[in-house]
Amino acid sequence: MKKVVAVYTGQGLAEPLKSIFDEQLPEVKLVNIIDDSIISEVVSEGEISASVKKRLFQYYQSAVDMGADIILNTCSSVGEVADLARPFIDIPIVKIDEAMAIEAVENYETIGVIATLPSTLDPTMRLIERQAELLQKNVRIIDALAKGAYDALVGGNPKIHDQIILKTAISVSSEVDVLVLAQGSMARMENLLREQTGVPVLSSPSRGVSEIKSLLGESVYADRK
């Protein structure tokens, strides 16, 4: 049985991702490493500290020691740490949002990026810029920070959180060819935002799992036949 170790910096995405794995890769063993202090530290510090980098490197190495075939980095805020770690880790590290960024760059010219935190918005925009450089494409990126949404969520008001995100999406929809959801936790809003804005909307979890499925190959689900 193939094994994927998912590294989380918060609690919210673990269950939705498990559902996607159950659907796309039921024969793969999914193991979670969750340190929900990391995102709080990144938000409070306004940057990725040396302590956060060290802990994430340790988690990646722990995944190797656990016998993982692939590591899934689930947090866009620390995706650049995964880039730093890749040369030192003996198995692939899949960034949950990388396939989404590639799809956006390949198919669209003006890309709106929605996030509830600057610590997620800025790395996602840089990721899209890097993919555009690699693909030698000119893209225009519009930042769409949903101010107040994160505070509403941690304050126990998910309905207000969703309303702010929807309002933000509508406000930039006339300027963009596509909307990219920087945080995997917003994937549940993908269809609603598409319906309300009339533009394509991309989220990361299912695309990240599809990348893992491609890397693992047909052998992981050959038993279905």
The confidence band for 44, taking pLDDT boundaries of 50, 70 and 90, is confident
Among 119, 117, 124, 137, CA closest to 180 = 124
Average pLDDT, the chain: 93
Ramachandran class of 136: left when φ > 0, alpha when ψ lies in -120 to 50, beta otherwise: left
Token pair of 163 as six digits: 């309303």
Q: For the segment 189-213, what is each residue's pLDDT rounded down to a tens digit?
A: 999 999 999 999 999 999 999 999 9
pLDDT at 218 over 60: no
pLDDT at 221 over 90: no
The confidence band for 223, taking pLDDT boundaries of 50, 70 and 90, is very low
Instruction: Kindly give, in sequence order, each residue whose CB lies less than 8 Å from that of residue 225, ignoring residues fewer than 6 positions away.
Output: none
The confidence band for 219, taking pLDDT boundaries of 50, 70 and 90, is very low
pLDDT at 225 over 90: no
pLDDT of residue 154: 83
Token pair of 129 as six digits: 């810029």
A 10 A CB-CB count for 199 gives 19
Would you kindly state where each structural domain of the chain is located, as residue ranges? Answer: 3-96+206-224, 98-203
Same topology, domains 3-96+206-224 and 98-203? Answer is: yes
d(CA 203, CA 184): 7
Q: For the segment 18-37, what is each residue's pLDDT rounded down to a tens digit?
A: 999 999 999 999 999 999 99
pLDDT of residue 56: 98
98-203 topology per CATH: Rossmann fold (3.40.50)
Q: Say what percent of the chain tops pLDDT 70.
A: 96
DSSP string over the chain: --EEEEEESSSTTHHHHHHHHHHH-TTSEEEEEE-THHHHHHHHHTS--HHHHHHHHHHHHHHHHTT-SEEEE--GGGHHHHHHHGGG-SS-EEETTHHHHHHHHHH-SEEEEEESSHHHHHHHHHHHHHHHHHHT---EEEEEE-TTHHHHHHTT-HHHHHHHHHHHHHHHGGG-SEEEESSGGGGGGHHHHHHHHSS-EE-SHHHHHHHHHHHH-GGGGGGG-
What would be the CATH architecture of the domain defined by 3-96+206-224?
3-Layer(aba) Sandwich (3.40)
* Axis-axis angle for helices 205-216, 14-24 (nearest 10): 40
The confidence band for 57, taking pLDDT boundaries of 50, 70 and 90, is very high
pLDDT of residue 224: 43
Average confidence (pLDDT) over 117-140? 96
pLDDT of residue 171: 97
Token pair of 107 as six digits: 């198919």
pLDDT at 99 over 70: yes
Average confidence (pLDDT) over 175-197? 96
pTM: 0.92
pLDDT of residue 114: 97
Instruction: Kindly give, in sequence order, each residue whose CB lies less than 8 Å from that of residue 152, ignoring residues fewer than 6 positions away.
Output: 158, 160, 161, 164
The confidence band for 47, taking pLDDT boundaries of 50, 70 and 90, is confident
